[in-house]
A and B are shown apart, each in its own frame.
Chain A
Amino acid sequence: MKLELDVIRIDGSRAVTIAYADIAQVDQLIACIDERGEIDGGSILSLALESETTLPPTMPVKDLQFKHTSLKVHAACVEVHFESEEHRQHFPVEARWSRVHRWACRHFTIAHDACANLELRLGSQDGPLLNERKEIGRHPDCVVVWLVKPGPEPNGAAR
């Protein structure tokens, strides 16, 4: 049981084979793709399964219904900043920005509740908002995004 990836990046192509027979859980498979493919494992799994459904991290890999075991993926480079940290990762160009958000929360170990209330901004902490339902798309260079917590907005008391 293996997943063959052909990842086409702006700095060249790379072919990776992920043997998953010995990988027990979904979160471990995602981490393996992250590391070996240098691309977001969650997005790749979603393409391989043809499903955007969020899988339980502990779901057994043997229960996954793969639609594809060989994928050719055009990848966009995204440099994600969160507070004082930053990290570059690749994502399929057709993946939505929500994938970047989800990956960043995993990578920067942000609690689930806090993660949902962060937003992605393009270029800087004060840059324009990115709609997470939109595709990342193709970019000539690595795209810089910031995962930020919006400031509080004053209001009157509920009535």
Chain B
Amino acid sequence: MSLDLGVDLASAAWRHGEEQGYWRVVERIEHILYVETFARDDVAYILNLQCDRYGVEPIRGRFVDSPTRACVAAAWPQGDGTFAGWFKSNPQDLFICWPADRGGVEHHADWRALQYWRKTDNQLVQYLEFISRCLTLPARGYHPRVQRLAS
């Protein structure tokens, strides 16, 4: 497993995801990445990824508002109960509840022992594949934004 964010950003697996249109780096500020991810309704969501202590600690991902880069509930994708199991969009406590996310591990201390974020060759790709899957596979429960606005 790589401990170097730069190496993983240059990897074939990361580039494949970019070429396939699953994600796109909008900006990198040292260990912070702003990555655009695309849902099955073509809506783009911006993730702020804190990647300090890369390979050692889990990444902290938070959806942010595109122009302001503020982490606000309105910037988070919405879905059914299954989806809400991972994406906690309570305005007072916005985090991704998954064992490879730092926020998830902070909320579930027992997850630290799993070291889930280290069970991969590429932590960044593992993270973005998880997000992409949640935004595209119907069983993960994402509610397309257009459908939400209409209902």
Q: B-contacting residues of A (Cβ < 8 Å)?
A: 116-117, 119, 122, 128-131, 133-134, 150, 153-159
Contact = CB atoms under 8 A, between A and B. Distances in A.
Contacts, number: 55
29 contacts: A116-B137, A116-B138, A119-B137, A122-B16, A128-B13, A128-B16, A129-B22, A129-B129, A129-B132, A129-B133, A131-B20, A133-B21, A134-B20, A134-B21, A153-B86, A153-B98, A153-B130, A153-B133, A154-B98, A154-B116, A155-B85, A155-B86, A155-B104, A156-B85, A156-B104, A156-B107, A157-B85, A158-B81, A159-B90
B138 A130 contact: no
B88 A159 contact: yes
Main secondary structure of the interface of A (DSSP, over half): loop
Given A116-B139, A119-B133, A155 B21 contact: no
Contacts of B84: 158-159
B101 to A, nearest CB: 10
A124 B97 CA distance: 29
Given A116-B138, A128-B16, A133-B21, A156 B133 contact: no
Nearest to B40: A133
